[in-house]
Structure 1
Amino acid sequence: MTAVLDQAAPASWLQRAGAFAIDVLAGAGLIVTLALLALSAPLYSWFWWVCTVAAALAGVAVLVNRIGLPAFTGWSLGRSVFGIRVVSAAGDAGLLRLLLRDVAHLLDTAAVFVGWLWPLWDARNRTFADLLAHTEVRRVESAGEGVRRRAGAVLLVLAVLSGIAGGLGYYAVYRQDRAVDQARAQIAEQGPRIVEELLSYGVDSVDEDFAKAQSLATDNYRQQLIAQQDAVRKAGPTTNDYWAVSSAVLSNPEPTATEASMLMALQGQRGTNPQELKFITATVQVDFTKSGDRWLVDNLTVLKRPALNGGGQ
């Protein structure tokens, strides 16, 4: 084998580039697509896991084809198509030498890609990585019948997988963005009304109003709301009306399909006697959570305490 390899002509730059495109670039395209989809998906969501695991498996497959197969069979898929082989002075390059060679390709890239072009004027068509690993790429006999057919099948599978990944990613990201936009629109419309019903009650219907308010709160916030309602009962309830005069969906934190926060300016009045009405202003931040098809208050933080102004003239 050594004598045969010594007599073989160096592989041309185009042959090496074609083999590299099949062995690395085709798989890298799928890996990059999956990685971008993982970055666009919610962290640790099912879609994030699918994309991350698939990208890792694709990376392993590229390494096995690029380094593992040549170490034991002498061929990678791309090199078998173009009839070229990585060799050393002793014959076929072993696993460690092939690994060192691919790591050394970082030097080819770091030198503003000059290392990848070096075979165009090197007498033995070597890259910087070949010089460092003491390897050459030479033309040899074909790896056998059907090589191009197998390579074409692999490239077709990669293209189909990339297309599926791209389509699935577009659908998943588009659906997520659409769900967030719908949630933002829903909470912008419904949020102020929910808070008005949560905080308003009448002296003649306090039990019903309090029960309705509790139905608008999540389990997380309901106990705090009940404690506030009990304090109102002990103090002697009176009519308490609130209405939102200004509101905005917050972008920090960013809303999701099931969670959103609002900043709200409230005005209201307290009391039933026109001569003793108290006018109220307050500013609150309200966190909402979607349960089924309903938005519920998960927390209400008072940013500006209610201010009471004097009664009627």
Structure 2
Amino acid sequence: MTVVDAESPTIRDSAQPNPAVFASWRARAGALLLDVLPGAALLATTALVALSVPLRGAWWWVCVSIGAATVLSTALNRLVLPATARQSLGRAVFGITVVHRNGTPVGAWWLLLRDLAHLLDTAAMFAGWLWPLWEGRRRTFADILLRTESHLLEPRWPEPKLRRFTSALVLGVALLCGAGAALSYVVVHQHDRSITDASEQIAQQGPRMVEQILSYHPETLKGDFDHAQSLATDSYRPQLTAQQQAVQKSGAIRNEYWTTNSSVLSATADRATMLVFLQGQRGAPPDQRYITASVRATFVKSGSLGWRVDDVAVVTKPQPPQARP
């Protein structure tokens, strides 16, 4: 393609930047969006998904890999490709290129400085980005600082291939963003559902488990203690065993509790904490006495075994009901 110079009858090759013809603000904005927006959208999506999935899990590493590849490819497109092919993808679509004021090509490091200098355009209430609308050479603050300009330049890549590649790229990024959003929704929904299920399960099973851990009868002492140990996790069982041995040495008497109220304090898919308010009786008639106590119980879900008691901490020691605050 050729262009006739209005001031001279000579014909110039339009593949060379024409210092007399500067890229319009609209073309520059479109090129910038095409260069940056797909990568920014994909990076934001992978960041959101990475925050949704388990840390350092398989999906987390997939997100990190895609994010790193996105940053690298965006940098190659914005810095390396223009230094070698004169145009980034976005600039090729809109037919522009970035050059020094004397028309010589701009290297990768200078393009990096120019992108960093665009922070000045943003810091000035975005006035720098709008400056080309009325500045004679259509420069931003970054262009003025680094003495660069955006000139018209016909695409060096075959236009049909360029259009197909650009369309495929934008469509691919859109599909990845959609898939990432769907994955994030599913993971978050499942996580919330698992927490709700855990809270409901502990609200139903927790009080009864605490009652069975703390209650025992002299005539069925061994069976009560064995059952209590079957409700405990491996980490809590030694502590429970030591308490049971102390009861046996001191002479076991009837000790029975029942729940008057309870509340789930916190819950995840496999761990929960509950506050349990208890009433009970200690001893047998006619020497029995009624008592109240409050405990904070921790539960852990252990695969097919279900929920197990991981700790029972006394909040309010057993005392007669009338002495309760």
Distance in structure 2 (CA, Å) of the matches to 1:290 and 1:53: 32
Distance in structure 2 (CA, Å) of the matches to 1:260 and 1:50: 30
Shift of 1:309: 6.3
Give the conservation status (yes or no) of the 8 Å contact 2:17–2:103.
Answer: no
Q: Which amino acid aligns with 1:185?
A: E
Moved over 4 A (4+): none
Q: Which amino acid aligns with 2:24?
A: S
Query: Between the two proteins, what is the percent identity of the paired residues?
Result: 50
Give the counterpart of 2:268 among 236, 248, 256.
Answer: 256
| Matched residue, 1:224 | 239
Give the conservation status (yes or no) of the 8 Å contact 1:5–1:91.
Answer: no
Larger C-alpha radius of gyration, 1 or 2? Answer: 2
Q: Which amino acid aligns with 1:177?
A: D
| Matched residue, 1:141 | 154
Give the counterpart of 1:111 among 114, 118, 124.
Answer: 124
Aligned length: 305
Secondary structure of the residue that 2:299 maps to in structure 1? strand
| Matched residue, 2:196 | 181
Give the counterpart of 1:87 among 93, 99, 109.
Answer: 99
Give the counterpart of 2:300 among 260, 277, 289.
Answer: 289
Give the conservation status (yes or no) of the 8 Å contact 1:8–1:140.
Answer: no
Give the conservation status (yes or no) of the 8 Å contact 2:19–2:103.
Answer: no
| Matched residue, 1:57 | 69
Q: Report matched runs for 1:25-40 at 5 Å.
A: 25-40=37-52
Q: Report matched runs for 1:157-168 at 5 Å.
A: 157-168=172-183
Give the conservation status (yes or no) of the 8 Å contact 1:259–1:289.
Answer: yes
Distance in structure 2 (CA, Å) of the matches to 1:298 and 1:201: 19
Residues 165-215 of structure 1, C-alpha deviations (whole Å, 9 max, x = no match): 111111111111111111111111111111111111111111111111101
When the two chains are superposed, the root-mean-square deviation of aligned CA atoms in Å is 1.8
Shift of 1:49: 3.4
Structure 2: where are the runs of 5+ without partners? 1-12
| Matched residue, 2:3 | none
Distance in structure 2 (CA, Å) of the matches to 1:90 and 1:191: 77
1:112 to 1:309, Cα distance in 2 relative to 1, 3 A: closer
Distance in structure 2 (CA, Å) of the matches to 1:54 and 1:191: 43
Q: Report matched runs for 1:234-313 at 5 Å.
A: 234-251=249-266, 255-273=267-285, 275-293=286-304, 294-308=306-320
Give the conservation status (yes or no) of the 8 Å contact 1:278–1:309.
Answer: no
Q: Which amino acid aligns with 1:280?
A: I
Secondary structure of the residue that 2:219 maps to in structure 1? coil
Structure 1: where are the runs of 5+ without partners? none
1:272 to 1:183, Cα distance in 2 relative to 1, 3 A: same
Q: Which amino acid aligns with 1:272?
A: A
Give the counterpart of 1:70 among 70, 76, 82.
Answer: 82
Give the counterpart of 1:24 among 21, 36, 42.
Answer: 36
Shift of 1:104: 0.8
| Matched residue, 1:212 | 227
Give the conservation status (yes or no) of the 8 Å contact 2:236–2:310.
Answer: yes
1:256 to 1:53, Cα distance in 2 relative to 1, 3 A: farther
Residues 125-177 of structure 1, C-alpha deviations (whole Å, 9 max, x = no match): 11111112211111111122111111111111101110111111111111111
Distance in structure 1 (CA, Å) of the matches to 2:265 and 2:114: 52
TM-score (norm 2): 0.89
Shift of 1:56: 2.5
Q: Which amino acid aligns with 1:295?
A: W
TM-score (norm 1): 0.92
Give the conservation status (yes or no) of the 8 Å contact 1:259–1:287.
Answer: yes
Q: Which amino acid aligns with 1:271?
A: G
Q: Which amino acid aligns with 1:144?
A: W
| Matched residue, 2:22 | 10
Shift of 1:42: 4.3
Shift of 1:11: 0.8
Secondary structure of the residue that 1:92 maps to in structure 2? coil
Shift of 1:38: 2.3
